[in-house]
Structure 1
């Protein structure tokens, strides 16, 4: 089933409800991130009592070329562009507005984040009252708060999606080129204005999201396998040239925060690879048990992403404070222990998913309740981005955890509940951006 839309050639097309290949790609990305983080976090207690954290995996020279392949964050945003555009098209075909879309997207993302911040705030202040060294608490806070940058970047990209979809439908190449040009401009000026580099948290990830639009509207799928393979080779060669010239680091973890043009080339390569292997991914995802796993994981993906690193940091901190003997990071014993650490994180995630996983599901209301006023939606967005921006620029602190939890809770109250779909339409041809061209009213139905 899909929502009718007008294809590029003028014929009818449909907007699929789910794309199994994209679901599998997103699950793969999430698994890579969780596994990668278990191999990076390595707190160290020094003889003088100070505590530091080492990125064991990231400090390995051999890992740089591996990270070139396994830096999957661009693929997250490509997939988000595909699914987000489909959601926007279906909503707009039912008469929904951009503010309805933003309201739904924000609620889906900030409700689980609000609970996470509140639990972290309560837990860390309890530890501080219990006499835990403030230095240890700050280290745990900084490490556990790392996933929040993704929340900020993904929110920024998704909240701009309706506008970017309209621009894409009118001038797809110009829109993508404009965003890429802004990325390059920020990279050129970041030496003189270091804080300006964080503007690419918006420009870069919106540009990568546009690659998802290009895949969704049929432009990339029209290319043959040879052309897709050529795009993969060309984008990696261009990226390699930028690294060889010394313009960007070869370590894709370094290029991630703040993001830069290197990740855009990586995103182009990953989008082409996703399209190239899409038939194979679809066949794998269609297997019964795989499809069931993807259905469950898809409904809880943001909860897993937000909670896995705080749980890992808390577990590592408790082991450190307990005096439990731990091998030095990077030693053979440390590497052999990583599967146990991963298994422990998965076990800890299970009760968290049971308790808080439902917060991620799309909330609906009975009857045809109108969406929140535009002013409330805009105010909620500002309220959310104030603590998130502070954390991105100055780092996360226990106090900011509490303030962030309060801001996220306030934003949730401002947004209310997602309204039920607008009255269905009998015929609603839409353009690539999902803007209805004409509508034929139909009797009102309750959802």
Structure 2
């Protein structure tokens, strides 16, 4: 660690905006930690592992999801970085960004396909294999959405040129309109698939704010407006319009704020964006003072997509290896949550090992892209049958 800290310090220019990297790392760790705390794998009589959640039984835990649902920060920083990385945002720039996103996904898909085959030969129940597939695919949906938003970067830049920070508002308005149709008096006549029209605008809202931030359009006044306005909207949706309290999906619930996103998503993202803007200078100063903390932030950022691809597989691997309280018991008591929290360091160690393995696999797949692509297509066909 001291050697890595020194190398990171030497490689970081003084002009680097460390707060932005810190916010990205914070967003990643929030999502990972949140998933680890709400994703339970319960052992069934046939020995298979099935997905459950403590939020199904312990509704009082829902406010914790307000802190741990940090994808809004990730899209905010993504928009900021995109606006700073190139001035023209040509098609070549977009292709390069998509390749950077896709390489870890391709390697992870190839590796998991082989792992599923080995696990099946070793006698792992089919139900567990299906659960593993579902948990692996879930983060990929986020990466697919992030890739789509990235591809739209040239258009977000043009919107910012014309409307400035106000360019983000139409995206939130689009989510509100869809929610009105989904949850209004005529909801019974509206197909459930209509809700997925919110997927892009819900996350483009924060991405567009990131573009405006990079161009200096969001000062402290705007930051306070985002913080206060987002909090007011969030409170109104929960208190007056009876939106679900949890920011993440709850098994068996009729409505979800995350899949597809509801208006609660941009409301929370506005709060996070406002707080990030207000705390940016202090956060940057902290990361400049603490070399080890900055090195840890750099490590998380270097492996961001690998962490997203593998963090739920770490849960499966640990639960297959160890059947203990907080891992495979029914998550119906607060003691389960405390036990799972105690397992977090072990999950982090398992994930670190998987990420290290993923780096090696990615190096191999560069020379075998066609084979990796064929394996990925086979996995996609299997995933469609079980998801």
Which TM-score band (shorter chain)? 0.7 to 0.9
Distance verdict in 2 for CA 1:359–1:121, change over 3 Å: closer
In 2, the alpha carbon distance for the partners of 1:323 and 1:71 equals 25
In 2, the alpha carbon distance for the partners of 1:319 and 1:398 equals 30
Of 343, 347, 350 in structure 2, the residue corresponding to residue 348 of structure 1 is 350
Q: CA RMSD in A?
A: 3.3
Question: Is the 2:48–2:126 contact (alpha carbons within 8 Å) kept by the matching residues of 1?
Answer: no
Of 307, 311, 335 in structure 2, the residue corresponding to residue 304 of structure 1 is 307
Question: Is the 2:43–2:328 contact (alpha carbons within 8 Å) kept by the matching residues of 1?
Answer: no
TM-score (norm 2): 0.80
SS in 1 for 2:257: helix
Question: Matches of residues 288-303 of structure 1 in structure 2 within 5 Å?
Answer: 288-303=291-306
In 2, the alpha carbon distance for the partners of 1:275 and 1:324 equals 37
Distance verdict in 2 for CA 1:199–1:109, change over 3 Å: same
In 2, the alpha carbon distance for the partners of 1:65 and 1:102 equals 37
Question: Is the 2:41–2:327 contact (alpha carbons within 8 Å) kept by the matching residues of 1?
Answer: no
Aligned twin of 2:104:
112
In 2, the alpha carbon distance for the partners of 1:325 and 1:248 equals 30
SS in 2 for 1:277: helix
Distance verdict in 2 for CA 1:307–1:212, change over 3 Å: same
Question: Is the 1:88–1:162 contact (alpha carbons within 8 Å) kept by the matching residues of 2?
Answer: no
Q: Offset at 1:256?
A: 1.3
TM-score (norm 1): 0.70
Cα-to-partner distance string for 1:244-283 (whole Å, 9 max, x where unaligned): 2325322211311111211111111111111111111011
Task: Note if 1:152 corresponds to 2:150.
Answer: no
Cα-to-partner distance string for 1:366-409 (whole Å, 9 max, x where unaligned): xxxxxxxxxxxxxxxxx9xx98xxxxxxxx9771389xxxxxxx
Of 109, 114, 117 in structure 2, the residue corresponding to residue 122 of structure 1 is 114
Question: Matches of residues 13-162 of structure 1 in structure 2 within 5 Å?
Answer: 18-47=16-45, 51-57=49-55, 59-89=57-87, 92=88, 98-162=90-154
Question: Matches of residues 310-389 of structure 1 in structure 2 within 5 Å?
Answer: 310-320=313-323, 327-331=329-333, 334-357=336-359
In 2, the alpha carbon distance for the partners of 1:103 and 1:359 equals 22
In 2, the alpha carbon distance for the partners of 1:131 and 1:352 equals 22
Aligned twin of 1:239:
234
Q: Offset at 1:135?
A: 1.6
Aligned twin of 2:10:
none
**Greater helix percent: which structure?**
2
In 1, the alpha carbon distance for the partners of 2:18 and 2:263 equals 29
Q: Offset at 1:184?
A: 2.4
Q: Offset at 1:310?
A: 1.0
Aligned twin of 1:213:
211
Of 283, 286, 293 in structure 2, the residue corresponding to residue 284 of structure 1 is 286
Cα-to-partner distance string for 1:91-112 (whole Å, 9 max, x where unaligned): x3xxxx5211211111111111
Cα-to-partner distance string for 1:265-319 (whole Å, 9 max, x where unaligned): 1111111111111111011111222222222221111111211111212221343
In 2, the alpha carbon distance for the partners of 1:345 and 1:252 equals 23
5+ long unaligned stretches in structure 1: 1-15, 362-382, 388-395, 403-447
Cα-to-partner distance string for 1:303-355 (whole Å, 9 max, x where unaligned): 112111112122213435x9999554254653443345322222223333333
Aligned twin of 1:258:
260
Higher Rg of the two aligned structures = 1
5+ long unaligned stretches in structure 2: 1-13, 249-255, 364-372
Distance verdict in 2 for CA 1:329–1:174, change over 3 Å: closer
